[in-house]
Amino acid sequence: MDFENLLYEVQGPMALITINRADKHNAISLATLDELHQAVSAAAADDAVRVITLTGAGGKAFASGSDLNEVLHRDLKKALEPIVQGLADQLERTPKPTIAAIDGICLGGGLEVALGCDLRIATPHSRFGTPEGKLGIIPGGGACARLPRIVGRGWGMEMMLMGNPIDAQRALSIGLITRLVEPEELLPEARRMADHLASFAPFVPRTMKAMVHFGMESSLAGALMFEKYAQGALVQTEDKIEGISAFLEKREPHFKGR
């Protein structure tokens, strides 16, 4: 697929979507957002793709935030539209697992895009922050809701109210990211993660993802009940029989997605 602001490539079971505005520190313009929606939709619809990975070009930024030249002229009507929120929602609700591979600054709207992904990995020189308060606004792409759910109320408040970026080691310690790798290993690590996820029965990662998101938004009783019904559906699949048989026979399973 050809885009003006993105690179799109399918590498085995992984679709790699690269924000390609290195001269702008991968700032997310409205045109870039539109292309990201298209790219994620294409990856979600491709049966060969099992995992969707987002990253930024240039080695200095995942995404520095929304394009401030556009935000400067944004009025109330435009602010109420689900701009970055819409992309984060799409990533969160796409059945396939999503990974944010972060190398460099990840701020504002860029962080909010990463928060919509299921997994976040980063390099040691990466920085994370929500500096919107210093600009006379607040995060509007989902950080107020998602960030405290991921890192807890305390660190969510610290990052949003203070507006100062945190380093990658701190991000790892509070659970904002789960893996820290050197820059040259960032995309290879994402590919290893994608290969690992692709080795599972196809229904498994997408069902786990759905269960976690439902459970975070539901009552405990409702989530536990839904989990049992989801488990009940999976135990009736051919892949369940194959997975257990392969384990007992000490061989690799051959899943068929049914």
Choose, from 9, 81, 92, 112, the residue flagged as catalytic. Answer: 112
Q: Could you tell me the two tokens for 132?
A: 């919107």
Report the alpha-carbon distance of residue 60 to residue 218 in Å, rounded.
38
Q: What is the DSSP string of 106-141?
A: EETHHHHHHHTSSEEEE-TT-EEE-GGGGGTS---S
The parts of the chain modelled with pLDDT lower than 70 are 67-84
Residue 102 CB neighbour total at 10 angstroms: 29
The predicted structure's pLDDT at residue 130: 93
Q: Work out the number of other CB atoms within 10 angstroms of the CB of residue 52.
A: 24
The pLDDT value given to residue 227: 85
SS (H, E, C) 45-61: HCCCCCEEEEEECCCCE
> Rounded to whole angstroms, what are the CA distances from 164 to 118, 141, 159?
24, 18, 6
pTM above 0.75, yes or no: yes
Q: Check if 112 is active-site.
A: yes
Q: Count CB-CB contacts under 10 A for residue 17.
A: 24
38, two tokens = 């298209």
Q: Which domains does the chain have, with CATH numbers?
A: 6-198 (3.90.226.10), 203-248 (1.10.12)
Which pLDDT score, from 0 to 100, does residue 79 have? 45
Q: In what order do the strands lie in the sheet with 127-129?
A: 61-63, 105-107, 127-129, 166-167
Q: Tokens in use for 255?
A: 């899943």
Give the per-residue pLDDT at 133. Answer: 85
Q: Which of 70, 132, 184, 238 is labelled catalytic? A: 132
pLDDT of 83: 59
Q: What contacts 256, CB < 8 A, 6 or more positions away?
A: 238, 239, 242
